Amino acid sequence: MEYQKNQYITLEVEDLGSEGEGIGKIDGYPFFVKDALPGDIIRAKVMKTKKNMAFARLEEILTPSSTRINPLCPHARRCGGCQIMELSYDAQLAFKEKKVKNNLLRIGGVPEDVLARVYDGIIGMESSADENVPVRYRNKAQFPFGKNKEGKNICGFYAGHTHSIIANTECYLGVEENEVILETILSYMEKMHVEPYDEETGKGLIRHALLRKGFQSGEIMVCLVINGKKLPGQQVLVDMLTKIPGMKSISISVNEKNTNVIMGESYEVLWGENVITDSIGSVQFKISPLSFYQVNPVQTRRLYETALSYAQLTGKETVWDLYCGIGTISLFLAQNAKKVYGVEIVPQAIEDAKQNAKLNGFTNAAFFVGKAEEVLPEFYEHGTVHGELVEDVDASAKSPDVIVVDPPRKGCDEACLSTMVSMAPSRIVYVSCDSATLARDIKYLREHGYELEKVKACDMFPNSVHVESVVLLNKKKATDFVEIGVDAEDYYSIKEK
Ligand code: SAH
């Protein structure tokens, strides 16, 4: 049957797509419906049809799924942040586990029996009894400012896939202090007649507020991103904000460009410190408004502890930590390794990493700025980084015991993977925020002498569709199969049986 735009259909939703959209089929033809959940029977309006699929809009839930819950946040559907807040937490975790497993099976070509053996579960997050899902887990939030239709100053969040701002100073993913801070900024703006930035005209001053709180330290940072060099009546704002307990740092960051990038290139302190301090486990970090820092510290600690246990360090090992950011994983590893080398593309992050190493008294960590896929091959082939000989490296740097990678969503470049294989570490620990590219890279590593040993998922972003994973790959031992006289594939298939 042909479907027409604006036609109404009744649909039984069976599955959840990777972006959290409900999927149901009529005579084998799939409809994708935002906000619909598996188990829902819905009435939907066809919005767009394609050869192999169609998009429809949820009009009415005729029979709700048993996994459907009332979301805490009244904005859950419109907001771009939480795609699956209406799904019970158990079902959220099951969805994420399935996503990771399916990618490993389909994209990674991991045999089902291997996956069954190595899959190590998902680290879910606890929520308190009066919440049905984990909330208030984010230590960082960035809120845009603008005007509503009536011309009133507002601050809130972008509706999904748009730049229109919905007024809401109370996001359940952030800390409770955020609301007070945002309301304070709005009342300062009213008092001092300060205008919010308008993307269309390029006029107006206040663009975004970046808010951060150290969960261990309780220290709070506010950084206002402004389209201008100065904040009129800044002392008024400072006086208002410093009444909030925990306030440690107030700054501005100038961004006068017509761009989607939120922060400016630098920042200027108006009051207090230029950084806040926080710790993950027993490692301390200084965090500036421009630093990358994991947003869910509770789950980050669990993720890093898993990565550390997979690395199986005894204190004698040489380790590379590629895509190291401000050295969070590197310093976690440095607690138990002989030497850790970190590589990261953002120069400021490497500066932070070096400072953080000093702050914690680690003398066994070294950091290099650059692309992992350039630094690692150059170092392996020539012993240099950016053409310069690297001092302070052990002989073992070219043949490390462990390589840890934590790449962005696009995964590792093949030049990086092939050098990793040449360096032949006993273990590779792969931390990933995108299980599709993880699966692709695992396929490469499995084809080049590594065997999948453990896979664990970790829910760093409850109520969103994102899932983090950590994977351990072991180097296949040549002696294992030489002695037995079969090749590696045969050997492992024998061993698995
Ligand atoms: N391991 C860190 C950061 C992980 S996020 C932590 O847990 O905090 C991924 C990091 O990879 C970012 O800091 C990003 O700047 C960096 N990055 C992106 N592309 C890169 C590349 N080609 N080479 C090295 N680092 C890269």
- Is the pLDDT at 230 greater than 50, yes or no? yes
pLDDT number for residue 430: 98
In the prediction, which pLDDT does 129 show?
64
Taking the CA atoms of 130, 134, 137 and 142 in sequence, report the sign of the dihedral they define. Answer: negative
Under the banding of pLDDT at 50, 70 and 90, the label for residue 482 is: very low
DSSP letter at 200? T
- Find out whether the beta carbon of 61 lies less than 6 Å from any atom of ligand 1: no
User: What amino acid positions are annotated as catalytic residues?
Assistant: 433
pLDDT of 425 over the 90 cut: yes
Judge if the beta carbon of residue 408 lies within 6 A of ligand 1: yes
Q: Is the CB of 345 under 6 A from ligand 1?
A: yes
Q: Which ligand 1 atom sits closest to the C-alpha of 343?
A: 24
- pLDDT, greater one: 129 or 226: 226
Structure-model confidence comparison of residues 487 and 157, the more confident one: 157
Per residue in 435-453, pLDDT (tens digit) is 999 999 999 999 999 999 9
Q: Is 349 in the pocket of ligand 1 (CB under 6 A)?
A: yes
Residue 487 tokens read as: 């090749």
Taking the centre of ligand 1 as the mean of its atom positions, its distance from the CA of residue 191, in whole angstroms, is 42
Residue 30: how many other CB atoms lie within 10 Å: 16
Cα-to-chain-centroid distance, residue 160: 18
Kindly give the distance from the C-alpha atom of residue 404 to the centroid of ligand 1, in angstroms, as a whole number: 12
Say if ligand 1 is within 6 A of residue 406 CB.
yes
The 10s digit of each residue's pLDDT in 65-123 is 999 999 989 888 888 788 999 999 999 999 999 999 999 999 999 999 999 999 999 99
Neighbours of 410 (CB within 10 A): 9
Report CA(321)–ligand 1 centroid distance (Å): 10
* Cβ of 434 less than 6 Å from ligand 1: no
Q: Which residue among 139, 332, 344, 420 is best mutated to probe the pocket of ligand 1, counting the most ligand atoms within 8 A of its Cβ?
A: 344
- Residue where the block lists tokens 């909330």: 135
Q: Which atom of ligand 1 is nearest to the CA of 433?
A: 5
Contact 125, 462 (CB under 8 A): yes
**pLDDT given at position 159:** 81
Q: How far is the CA of 410 from the centre of ligand 1 (A)?
A: 11
Section 380-390 average pLDDT: 91
Given a cut of 70, is residue 489 above it in pLDDT? no
> Is there a contact between 394 and 318 (Cβ–Cβ < 8 Å)?
yes
The pTM (predicted TM-score) of the whole model is 0.90
Q: Give the burial string for 154-187 (b: 16+ CB within 10 Å, else e).
A: bbbbbeeeeeebbebbebbbbbebbeebbebbbe
Query: Measured in whole angstroms, how far is the alpha carbon of residue 178 from the centre of its chain?
Result: 21
Q: How far is the CA of 422 from the centre of ligand 1 (A)?
A: 22
Q: Can you spell out the DSSP letters for 415-431?
A: HHHHHHHHH--SEEEEE
Q: What is the pLDDT of residue 480?
A: 52
Report how far residue 293's alpha carbon sits from residue 277's, in angstroms, rounded to the nearest whole number: 11
Is 25 a residue whose pLDDT tops 90?
yes
Q: What is the mean pLDDT of residues 362-380?
A: 97
User: How does pLDDT run across 128-182, given as a tens digit for each residue?
Assistant: 767 789 999 999 999 999 999 999 999 998 887 788 898 999 899 999 999 999 9
Report whether residue 423 contacts ligand 1, using a CB cutoff of 6 Å: no
How sure is the predictor about 379, in pLDDT bands with cuts at 50, 70 and 90?
very high
Residue from 300, 345, 376, 430 to probe ligand 1 pocket by mutation (most atoms less than 8 Å from CB): 345
* 101, amino acid identity: K
Token duo for residue 74: 């009244």
Identity at 264, one-letter amino acid code:
G
CB of 232 closer than 6 A to ligand 1? no
Pocket test for ligand 1, best of 140, 292, 304, 413 (most atoms within 8 A of CB): 292
Residue 32, beta-bridge partner list: 23, 55
Q: How far is the CA of 416 from the centre of ligand 1 (A)?
A: 13
Residue 221 neighbours by CB distance under 10 Å: 25
Q: How far is the CA of 155 from the centre of ligand 1 (A)?
A: 30
